[in-house]
Structure 1
Amino acid sequence: MEMIRPFDVAEFLEDPKTAAAYLAAVFEEGDAEEIRVALNDVARAHGITDLSRETGLSRETLYKAFGSTGNPTLSTLLAVVKALGIKLSVAA
């Protein structure tokens, strides 16, 4: 009998364009919890250790910010987005 693995969207988000499209869709909905989850997915896809090195933030800080009870600060969000090669924009 073959075991079915749980689906993990992070496995499909290594490409910055794919990650940006995923985040854009989630940001459009505007739900803070969904945005936190999506950022966690993209961060895991990129690799927390690499992201820590690139942002100068500790792995613990990243895990806390994007974990189930996290609430990332704006500076953490901006550092992570920049390290991921993604740009945020605002439109009317």
Structure 2
Amino acid sequence: MPVTIRSFDISKHLKTDEDIQGFLEEVISTGDDSDFIHALNIAARAKGMTEIAKQVGVTRASLYKSLSGNGNPRFKTTSKIVKALGCKLTVARRSDKA
């Protein structure tokens, strides 16, 4: 019997601001900086790239480029994206002190 494989798009499961916040918190605590940029891409798609781009003050194409695998958004852009997603960046003491 053949096995059917379907692609899984996390963005389709991020329905609320709380979902997005929890997703970003998990990625920032377990991943690295490229994982976080990828997570911002997923969250922006969940909220709507066009709307996020408007709030950030960039074109939709520019936002896609910034959040692509080869993108390297400036801190100012990243901060604006996080804010447009209904979140905020904070600094906390690391518990592992590595």
Structure 1 length-normalised TM: 0.88
Q: Which residue of 2 aligns with 1:52?
A: 53
Q: Which residue of 1 aligns with 2:25?
A: 24
Task: Give the structure with higher Rg (CA).
Answer: 2
- The size of the alignment, in residue pairs, is 92
Q: Kindly indicate which of the two structures has a greater share of residues assigned to helix.
A: 1
Query: How is 1:74-85 mapped onto 2 (pairs within 5 angstroms)?
Result: 74-85=75-86
Structure 2, unmatched stretches of 5+, are: 94-98
Query: In structure 2, what is the Cα distance between the partners aligned to 1:56 and 1:14?
Result: 24
Structure 1, unmatched stretches of 5+, are: none
Q: Helix, strand or coil for the counterpart of 2:89? A: coil
Q: Helix, strand or coil for the counterpart of 1:5? A: coil
Runs of 4+ in 1 over 6 A off after TM superposition: none
Identity of aligned pairs, percent? Answer: 38
Amino acid at match of 1:66: L
Q: Which residue of 2 aligns with 1:8?
A: 9
